[in-house]
């Protein structure tokens, strides 16, 4: 368990580092549109949230058994992620209406749906629906990193500040 969480932390920090490079190469953030800020902010949030979740589970595993630690971490993360989804939804409504070329509304709605499903997976894991609670928790963390990596690739190909 510790090794898997450590790998998740390393992957998240690495992805955040590469994202930082893309941000630096993308020009002055003060000239970015709301859509560009939303995309980069969401990507960084997902990356750092996965790291935070892995660190939380590692900390809890020092005081609880693996099942309890992963369920507690899932519960804590699900509350934060449901709240973050509400904030992302609220902040994305304006950019989705703006017809900004750096965002595709159909893709944004699909991603928001997957974000909610990931938050639901964490909540269901917290209440004990899954027998292997660590596997469910780890899957949710990996999904967060995959979502962030997807946004990272989108930012590479549809770069902020360059349209």
Domain extent, residue 15, equals 2-25+32-157
The phi, psi pair for 75, rounded to 5°, reads -60, -45
How much is the pTM? 0.85
pLDDT greater than 80 at residue 73: yes
> What was the pLDDT predicted at 163?
46
- pLDDT classification of 159: cutoffs 50, 70, 90: low
Tally of structural domains, the chain? 1
Does 54 fall in a domain? yes
Tokens standing for residue 140 = 């949710």
Does 6 fall in a domain? yes
Closest CA to 148 of 49, 52, 22: 49
What value does the mean pLDDT of the chain take? 86
**Mean pLDDT of the 110-139 span:** 94
| Count of C-beta atoms within a 10 Å radius of residue 23 | 18
* Higher-scoring residue by pLDDT: 67, 3: 67
> What was the pLDDT predicted at 34?
79
**Mean pLDDT of the 103-108 span:** 81
- pLDDT classification of 113: cutoffs 50, 70, 90: very high
Give the whole-angstrom CA distance, residue 155 versus residue 158. Answer: 5
For residue range 11-56, what is the model confidence (pLDDT) as tens digits? 888 888 877 777 777 677 777 777 888 888 888 899 999 999 999 9
What percent of the chain is predicted at pLDDT more than 90? Answer: 45
Does 163 fall in a domain? no
Does 102 fall in a domain? yes
For residue range 138-157, what is the model confidence (pLDDT) as tens digits? 999 999 999 999 988 888 77
Give the whole-angstrom CA distance, residue 74 versus residue 87. Answer: 20
Does 162 fall in a domain? no
Helix 2-25 to helix 133-157 angle (10° resolution) is 10
pLDDT greater than 80 at residue 2: no
Tokens 């909540």 sit at which residue?
Answer: 123
DSSP annotation string for the chain: -HHHHHHHHHHHHHHHHHHHHHHHHT--GGG--HHHHHHHHHHHHHHHHHHHHHHHHHHHHTTS-HHHHHHHHHHHHHHHHHHHHHHHHHHHHHHHHTT-TT--HHHHHHHHHHHHHHHHHHHHHHTT-SSSHHHHHHHHHHHHHHHHHHHHHHHHHS-TT--
């Amino acid at each position: 368990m510790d090794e898997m969480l450590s790998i998740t932390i390393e992957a998240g920090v690495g992805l955040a580092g590469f994202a930082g490079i893309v941000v630096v190469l993308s020009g002055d953030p003060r000239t970015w549109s709301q859509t560009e800020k939303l995309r980069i902010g969401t990507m960084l949030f997902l990356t750092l949230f996965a790291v935070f979740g892995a660190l939380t589970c590692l900390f809890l595993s020092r005081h609880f058994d693996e099942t309890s630690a992963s369920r507690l971490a899932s519960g804590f993360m699900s509350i934060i992620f449901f709240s973050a989804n509400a904030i992302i939804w609220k902040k994305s409504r304006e950019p989705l209406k703006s017809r900004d070329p750096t965002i595709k509304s159909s893709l944004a709605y699909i991603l928001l749906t997957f974000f909610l499903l990931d938050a639901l997976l964490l909540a269901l894991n917290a209440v004990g629906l899954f027998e292997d609670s660590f596997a469910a928790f780890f899957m949710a963390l990996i999904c967060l990193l995959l979502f962030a990596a997807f946004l990272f690739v989108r930012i590479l190909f549809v770069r902020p500040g360059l349209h």
